[in-house]
Structure 1
Amino acid sequence: MPHKSRLLVPLLAAALVGACTGDPAPPASGDPDGTSMVIAVADEPADVNPLSGYAENGAAKLFDGLVEHEANLALRPALAVDLPEPSADGRSWTVRLRGEVTFADGTPFEAEDVVATYRAVLDPARKSPVRKRFSMLKDVTALNPSTVRFDLTAPYAPFPELLVLGIVSSESVATPEAVGTGPYRLQSWTREKRMVLTANASYWNDPPAIEKVTIEFIPDDDARAARLRDGKLDGAVLPPPLAAGFEDTDGMLVAYHSAADVRAVVLPTGDPVTGDPDLRLALNHAVDRESMVEDAVATKARVAYTPMPNVLAEFVDADATFEFDVTRALDALSAGGWLPGEAGVRTKNGVPARFTLHYPAGDSVSEALARAFAANARAVGVEVTPTPATSDLPGPSVVRFGDPFDPDPDLYPLVHSGSALGAYDNETVDEALETGRTATDPAQRATAYRKFQRSWVGAPGMVVLVAPNHTYVMRESWDGYQPVVDAAGADFTWGAWWNLEAWTPR
């Protein structure tokens, strides 16, 4: 079966800036042969088990999925022989499995491993955070040792995208130490510091040339930049203003990736201030998104108005926008009963238009956006106090989300009634999202998602701000890097290092 047609999203090509004369500097690991690498990311995974939500975009390094993504986001077979085959009614998908593959512990890969993995996802007792992504999956069955069938409760067009989930051996599926078939093994993990991966010499595909990868977990942007300047890292994800400091550094590559990274201010529905529909609408018109792009994200971003990532171009309604209009924002507040009060803060029924806005500590982009949002809000009489948070962000907060492959996996649980973010409730939005996930006709799906966006701008559930690009700084000591559209986060399994197992030392 030929590759399914995918959304081909324009990539921002890597920016090779500055002189690159002479031999590259030795890797941070001190390995002159380049078979070791040290990289840094902001976020540490809670677990490295796919059933716990690890590497939901695939490219898990320790595990392989039935399929995987190419650089252009098309799907290609991995542990499958070819791409999944749908039934005529779209309610089941059949997958033939690759033979002569073994797990890292030497046990053979067979259909029972696929069945055990996906049934563990569906098991309510397991409480897998991945389960919500598979709400349409009814069961998975082994038709024979090399063929499985997935049965769905209803047609679900993007189902093959979900089959990037890493497969765990049936023997280890119920244990804390899951075993996979991936190109790397987990050698060690020092929590809140680093993880070390070593090459899987028995990998079914070509074993990696980079035999050891150390991942340092450094939440603070400035700290990652400092370690990179000191030669302690071979690569790191950095916000654009910090990455710009490396543009003239010999032997370093500054690369920009477009990303499904939507940054937004969540406004919980149950709060008398943030849940007020007139105040939400007013804040959407009060926000100067263009200035945020220029100042808060150093131009490496695009403005955003709805939760639909703008990298999913075929689903975006270009007319679903909010005009930056302070007068219109003030009119919306007045019409909603928010009247001028003491110290310029508006009030409604004795309640001041005031709230605390949390953002992730150490995330300089989110901090800059929170402060810019607070300044815009203050100009229309809404007092917002930006505050860093080191754990789950409570109440009003700056969040990031987005799926670069399909709208449904992120949008449905995000903004459908009773959603995770702010308990947004909109019947028209619900209907559009239902059509978007069940329709098999691409044109019908696109129409539904544009309807969702048009309804959103009439009654927004949050204030969507910008969609930053992701910026990486890497030592030019290896060949094989390919830019790819990023997901919302930037961990060591996707982004610049999505195909790290294919890199080779120069």
Structure 2
Amino acid sequence: MTARTVRGVAGATLAAALITGVTACSTPGATGAATDAVVVGTATEPESLSPLLGYGKDGNSKIFDGLLAHDADMKLKPALAEALPEVSADGRTYTYKLRAGVKFSDGAPFSAKDVVFTYRTILDAKTNNASKTELDAIEGVEARGEDTVVFTLKYPYAPFAERTVLPIAPEHIAGRQDVNSGDFTTKPVGTGPYVLAGWSKGEKLSFKANPGYWGGEPAVKRFTMAVVKDDDVRATRLRSGELDGAILPPNLAKGFEKDPARLGAPPSGSWGIYAAKTFDYRNVTLPTHHRVTGDVAVRQALDIAVDRTAMVDKLLEGAGKPAFGPVPADSPWFTAGTERGHDLDRAKKILDEAGWKAGEDGIRVKDGVRASFPLWYTSGDKIRQDHALAFASDAKKAGIEVRTEAGTWEVIEPRMKTDAVLAGGGSPADPDFDQYLLLTSSLGGDGFNNMAWYDNQSVDRALDEARRSGDPAVRKAAYDTVQRELVKDPGYVFLTHIDHLYVVNDRWEGLTTQVEPHDHGLGSGPWWNVESWKPKAK
């Protein structure tokens, strides 16, 4: 089952309970409040804090470091490695020289054996890490002394260096526990800029600065991630000064800018609104194990019945772009000519030709099957709710009834094989990172991987070719094939790519954003580099 970073467990009541726990010492502007503490609101929460189970695999994990890290421009830079890797001429050997003098937060020295332990454990069949297929290219990993690690690959996997932002776990702790259920999953020890101070699941994660961090002790001494699932509640807590920052949907975030007098400013300063470009898309899964969505004609019709431009303009207030697949249209990996315009007449014609005839109430029927299916979205997520309702409205105009349903992931997961879901995904590092898990037929129904049970042999071959080739031209041609096949045989209807918007109390310097993936929580937003923030001079 795939890893997931969000569960629908935090609503208004839970958020209220959370705030009483975090505001006493950290409310901006409160009497006696700490000036070196930051509290931010997020909609997501990890299931585990162990990198062996998938936590922090894309970097910025705060508790841990990888061999490499990303800078503000998403370029790789050294972290636990002292330099970028040496790569053999055939692209199958990567050699990393490790940074000297690094220690874990418990004082134990970091060495090559910890790197070998981390990667070998993730690849172990007994480890419940659903992302391990991302490391399929590794044939072996070995330590050469205390300060050198060598990876040998089965084939020249072009984006392998990007995979080495994966956090490194300490063998002397995690290696003595059950990898799937040991204390390390909730009480981690790493080399990162912060140490976990406490975790109240469904409420908050608290961190304190690591005084022995190899990059220097952070100026932000206490950092709290408040888990507030409901968008409106998060905005309310932000306005009241109980949070220093939060991710918000566009209509709520822009409200802080439009009418600051009515909404109020934080007691200690003004609001800053930060936009992050992303690869984060929203799509509708169309399971093949359903009598309606399993029909290719229905999928083709829905793919052009939706008005993506209207969704960007009305739902996102321009903070995004239409999505025609997992790759944004402004990416060099995007295949020109695969854009799909809104064409309701064509959608109706496709359904007519496939034998889906309109009934008395306007909903189509074929062979006694009514063109109707449920669409689930996570409760409290306004962006998903709005997308689900808009999709249902557009579908109805084509004669397809989409019944929107809200629920937590615990409610939704058992229904994913046959029911459509307003889902999301996207990774900026490399097209393999998202498309392989999303579309490969062998991963159909593997939790949140390939939720549509998509099965297209041309796509399978192209994904495998792109994964195994080190030639950029070959890889581009393969991903072109994937995107063209998604036009002919859509397993998903991609709706929009969303720009993430954050509102932050403007009392710190050094705030920036990166190009972000779908899973944006602890390591994303302006706090992706909170360890580098400095207080503004008064």
State the shift of 1:234 in Å: 0.3
In 1, Cα distance between equivalents of 2:501 and 2:240: 19
**2:399 equivalent among 378, 381, 386:** 381
Give the conservation status (yes or no) of the 8 Å contact 1:28–1:233.
no
Tell me, in whole angstroms, the C-alpha distance in 1 between the residues paired with 2:285 and 2:35.
Answer: 44
Q: Indicate the residue corresponding to 1:216 in structure 2.
A: 226
TM-score scaled by length of structure 1: 0.92
Secondary structure of the structure 2 residue equivalent to 1:294: helix
Find the residue that maps to 1:314 and give its secondary structure.
coil
- Does 2:371 match 1:353? yes
Q: Give the TM-score normalised by structure 2.
A: 0.87
Which residue in the other structure is 1:422 paired with?
452
Gaps of 5+ in 2: 1-25, 178-182, 445-449
SS at 2:253's partner residue? helix
Distance 1:28 1:430 in 2: 55
Moved more, 194-203 or 438-447: 438-447
The residue that corresponds to 2:210 in the other structure is: 200
Distance 1:309 1:303 in 2: 8
Q: Distance in 2 between matches of 1:139 and 1:362?
A: 44
Give 1:21's aligned residue. none
Does 2:487 correspond to 1:486? no
**In the alignment, what sits opposite 2:15?**
none
One-letter code aligned to 2:158: A
Residue 535 (structure 2) pairs with residue 501 (structure 1): no
Structure 1 stretches of 5 or more lacking a match? 1-24
Alpha-carbon spacing, 1:130–1:416, altered in 2? closer, same or farther (3 Å) = closer
In structure 2, the residue matched to 1:406 is: 430
Q: Deviations over 1:50-81 (max 9, x none)?
A: 11221222011000000000111100000001
* In structure 2, C-alpha distance between the alignment counterparts of 1:228 and 1:478, rounded to whole Å: 16
Distance 1:44 1:199 in 2: 20
Post-superposition CA distance 1:15-61 (Å, at most 9, x none):
xxxxxxxxxx9826766663101001001111111112212220110
Name the CA shift for 1:28/1:288 in 2 (closer, same or farther; >3 Å). farther
1:324 alignment partner AA: H
Q: Deviations over 1:344-374 (max 9, x none)?
A: 1111111100001001111101100000000
Contact 1:263/1:464 (CA < 8 Å) preserved in 2? yes
Aligned mate of 1:254, from 273, 279, 284: 273
2:130 is matched with which residue? 129
Structure 2 CA distance, aligned partners of 1:198 and 1:56?
Answer: 21
Matched position secondary structure for 1:308 = coil
* Alignment partner, residue 468 of structure 1: 498
Letter in 1 for 2:223: V
- Runs of 4 or more consecutive aligned structure 1 residues displaced over 3 Å after TM superposition: 28-33
Look up the equivalent residue of 1:242 and give its one-letter code.
Answer: L
Residue identity matched to 2:39: V
User: For structure 1, which segment, 203-212 or 135-144, has the greater mean C-alpha deviation from structure 2 after superposition?
Assistant: 135-144
- The one of 457, 476, 480 aligned to 1:450: 480
Q: Measure the CA separation in 1 of the matches of 2:324 and 2:451.
A: 16
Q: Distance in 1 between matches of 2:149 and 2:32?
A: 44
Task: Quote the Cα distance in structure 2 between the aligned partners of 1:70 and 1:286.
Answer: 40
1:119 maps onto 2:120 in alignment? yes
CA contact (8 A) 1:309 1:404 kept: no
Question: After superposition, where does 1:47-62 map in structure 2 within 5 Å?
Answer: 47-62=48-63
Q: Tell me the secondary structure at the aligned position of residue 254 of structure 2.
A: helix
Q: Which amino acid counterpart does residue 383 of structure 1 have in structure 2?
A: E
Distance in 2 between residues matched to 1:438 and 1:29, nearest whole Å: 56
Name the SS for the 1:88 alignment partner. coil
Does the Cα contact within 8 Å between 2:312 and 2:496 map onto a contact in 1?
yes
Tell me the C-alpha RMSD between the 2 structures. 1.6
Quick one: structure 1 residues 417 and 135, their matched pair in 2 at CA, closer, same or farther if it must change by over 3 Å? same
CA spacing shift, 1:160–1:373, aligned 2, 3 Å: same
1:269 counterpart = 2:288: yes
Give the distance between the partners of 1:159 and 1:203, measured in 2 at CA: 27
Whether contact under 8 Å (1:110, 1:145) holds in the other structure is yes
Kept in 2, the 8 Å contact 1:27–1:477? The answer is: no
Q: 2:397 & 2:360 partners in 1: Cα distance? A: 14
Question: How far, CA to CA, are the matches of 1:412 and 1:168 in structure 2?
Answer: 26
* CA distance in structure 1 between the aligned counterparts of 2:514 and 2:336, rounded to whole angstroms: 23
Change (3 A) 1:26 1:355: closer
Matched, 1:319 2:329: no
Query: In the aligned structure 2, how far is the partner of 1:104 from the partner of 1:324?
Result: 54
Match of 2:316 among 277, 297, 302: 297
Alpha-carbon distance in structure 2 between the residues aligned to 1:31 and 1:433: 57
Superposed displacement of residue 94, structure 1: 1.1
User: Cα–Cα, structure 1 residues 305 and 31, in superposed 2: closer, same or farther, change >3 Å?
Assistant: farther
Q: Give the Cα–Cα distance (whole angstroms) in 1 for the partners of residues 153 and 352 of structure 2.
A: 49
- Is the Cα–Cα contact under 8 Å of residues 326 and 434 in structure 2 kept in the other structure? no
Query: For residue 95 of structure 2, what is the aligned residue in structure 1?
Result: 94
Paired residue for 2:347, among 329, 332, 349?
329
Q: Secondary structure at the match of 1:344?
A: coil
Matches of 1:401 and 1:166 in 2, distance apart?
Answer: 21
Aligned counterparts, 1:31-46, within 5 A: 34-46=35-47
Residue in structure 2 matched with residue 173 of structure 1 by the alignment = 174
Distance apart, 1:306 and its partner CA: 1.3
Measured against aligned partners, the alpha-carbon deviations of 1:234-282 in whole angstroms (never above 9, x if no partner) come to 0000000000111153510011111111110000011111110000000
**Residues 153/142 of structure 1: CA separation in 2 closer, same or farther (3 Å cut):** same
Alignment equivalent of 2:299, drawn from 264, 280, 299: 280
Aligned partner of 1:230 in structure 2 is 240
Provide the rounded CA distance (Å) in 2 between the counterparts of 1:134 and 1:336.
42
Equivalent residues of 1:26, 1:477 under 8 A apart: no
In structure 2, distance between residues paired with 1:280 and 1:31: 58
SS in structure 2 of the partner of residue 373 of structure 1? helix
**1:499 partner SS:** helix
In structure 2, C-alpha distance between the alignment counterparts of 1:171 and 1:31, rounded to whole Å: 40
d(CA) in 2 for partners of 1:309, 1:302 = 8
Check the 8 A contact 2:286/2:420 in 1, yes or no. yes
**What amino acid sits opposite 1:431 in the alignment?**
R
| Greater mean deviation of Cα atoms: 466-475 or 456-465 | 456-465
User: SS in structure 2 opposite 1:141?
Assistant: strand
- 1:120–1:173 contact (8 Å) kept in structure 2: no
Moved more, 396-405 or 481-490: 481-490
Cα distance in 1 between the residues matched to 2:468 and 2:281: 24
Identity of aligned residues (%): 40
User: Structure 2: how far apart are the matches of 1:448 and 1:152?
Assistant: 21
Structure with more of its chain in helix, by fraction: 2
Q: Choose from 328, 331, 339 the match for 1:309.
A: 328
Alpha carbons of 1:334 and 1:30: their partners in 2 closer, same or farther (altered >3 Å)? Answer: farther
Letter matched to residue 69 of structure 1: H
- The alignment status of 1:340 with 2:328, answered yes or no, reads no
Alpha-carbon shift at residue 130 of structure 1 (Å):
2.9
Q: Is the 8 A contact 1:268 1:396 kept in 2?
A: yes
**Secondary structure of the residue that 1:172 maps to in structure 2?**
helix
Cα pair distance change 1:114/1:330, threshold 3 Å: same
